[in-house]
A = this chain, B = another copy of it.
Amino acid sequence: MANEPDRRDRSAHPVTMRDVARVAGVSVATVSHVVNDKAGARIGAAARERVRQAIDELGYRPNMLAKNLVRGRSRFIGLVADAIATTPFAGQIIQGAQKEAWKHGFVLLVANTEGDREAEDEAIAMMLEHQVRGILYSTWYHRAVDTPAALGETTAVLVDCYSPDGQFPAIVPDEVGGGRTATELLLAAGHRRIAFVNAAEPSPAQEGRLRGYREALADAGIAFDDELVLAVHDEQDGGYEAGRTVLQRGATAVFCYNDRIAMGLYDRLREQGVSIPGELAVVGFDNQEIIAAHLRPPLSTVALPHYELGAAGVRVLLGLEEVPDGEPLLVACPPVSRQSV
């Protein structure tokens, strides 16, 4: 490449503001004012343009650390996550937060803590030292959290979790609405005897999705039958175990608490020679692509809105979006139709 040596040189001896000033024929102070977009500095349009051209020509990179010091605050937003970068399906929270942060000129500092309180404290201290504008505190599944005390030292927003005392604004999936949506996918296909294979462990998702299921049935004029609600371990083995009971109780359709349960249920149905959706229609929850899109037949499900949770977190942090008074902001869980209904 023709300009390779040039680029190399630049790396060894970084271009300074002084270089820019020399090429543009202005003072270093003028360059500084243009670079830092200083309010109140009177610089003519022509001089400003010459500075911009010189910056382009020389490949000058302003020192952000110095810029931040001048402005008295950083352009960082922190994201403290228990495991979302390392669990299969909530990385979209990071993606959503990052894209939204960039849009507003902020950079995301991400720290994974694996839920370890000491690692959390360390991450938050690091972020406070870097004078972040605020911190998103996020979990990989929707739950109540006991927030670390240091969060109180900055603007904090909880993402995919909430603190029971309401100390911080929180953004969570609308589990009730999602449970409704899942049930309605089956109602719309004409089913009236719909089982719900729920998780046994109480959680906002477990309680919310059940409420949504009951509300959707009630709206359709169908009496709730607790024989049709099963409580299982929320992984494949739970779905596999529930399969036989679902059939015995005469259900024609089943809403599974998550896609993993649906995957286990598929295994059992195949063993029993039951066809999906012909003999039993199935809807999952989470839209865990690697499973849902690749089961046979592909699984209709309801998506957790991870991307949107992260993006909304940044907007609330920056004061661009409001949360309801004392309540978490609910983000809708949209249906994803495939071929199991």
Q: Which residue of B lies closest to A10 (CB)?
A: B153
Q: Which of A25-33, A66-74, A178-186, A197-205 contacts B (4 or more CB under 8 A)?
A: A66-74
A88 contacts the other chain (Cβ, under 8 Å)?
A: yes
A211 CB → nearest B CB, Å: 27
Contacts of A8 in B (CB 8 A): 152
A248 contacts the other chain (Cβ, under 8 Å)?
A: no
Report how many copies the assembly holds. Answer: 2
A112 contacts the other chain (Cβ, under 8 Å)?
A: yes
**Given B10, B108, B152, which contacts A110 in the complex, CB threshold below 8 Å?**
B108
**Given B10, B92, B130, which contacts A64 in the complex, CB threshold below 8 Å?**
B130
Closest 10 CB pairs of A and B: A64-B129, A236-B294, A88-B88, A86-B91, A85-B91, A110-B110, A85-B94, A86-B95, A85-B85, A11-B153
A38 CB → nearest B CB, Å: 18
Contacts of A149 in B (CB 8 A): 7
Q: Which of A220-228, A259-267, A276-284, A326-334 contacts B (4 or more CB under 8 A)?
A: A259-267
Chain A interface SS verdict (over half): helix
Contacts of A4 in B (CB 8 A): 152
A126 CB → nearest B CB, Å: 6
Subset of 16 A-B contacts with CB under 8 Å: A11-B153, A61-B125, A63-B69, A64-B129, A65-B65, A69-B69, A88-B88, A94-B112, A107-B111, A107-B126, A235-B294, A240-B296, A260-B290, A267-B270, A288-B290, A290-B290
Beyond the given pairs A88-B89, A270-B270, 10 more chain A to chain B contacts, judged by CB atoms under 8 angstroms and listed by A's residue number, are: A11-B152, A69-B69, A86-B91, A88-B289, A88-B290, A91-B91, A94-B110, A94-B112, A95-B112, A107-B111
Bits for A94-126, please: 1 = Cβ < 8 Å to B, else 0. Answer: 110010001000011111101000000010011
A166 contacts the other chain (Cβ, under 8 Å)?
A: no
- Give the CA-CA distance A69 to B114 in the complex, in Å: 31
Bits for A131-152, please: 1 = Cβ < 8 Å to B, else 0. Answer: 1000000000000000001001
Bits for A250-269, please: 1 = Cβ < 8 Å to B, else 0. Answer: 00000000001001100100
Counting chain B CB atoms within 10 Å of each CB, which of A264, A289, A290 scores highest? A290
**Given B68, B87, B122, B288, which contacts A65 in the complex, CB threshold below 8 Å?**
B68
- Give the CA-CA distance A128 to B202 in the complex, in Å: 47
A19 contacts the other chain (Cβ, under 8 Å)?
A: no
Interface residues on chain A, size class: 35 or more
A residues with CB within 8 A of B: 4, 7-8, 10-11, 61-66, 68-69, 74, 85-89, 91-92, 94-95, 98, 102, 107-112, 114, 122, 125-126, 128-131, 149, 152-154, 235-237, 240, 260, 263-264, 267, 270-271, 288-291, 294-296
Counting chain B CB atoms within 10 Å of each CB, which of A66, A112, A267 scores highest? A112
Counting chain B CB atoms within 10 Å of each CB, which of A8, A69, A85 scores highest? A85
User: Do A95 and B89 touch (CB < 8 A)?
Assistant: no
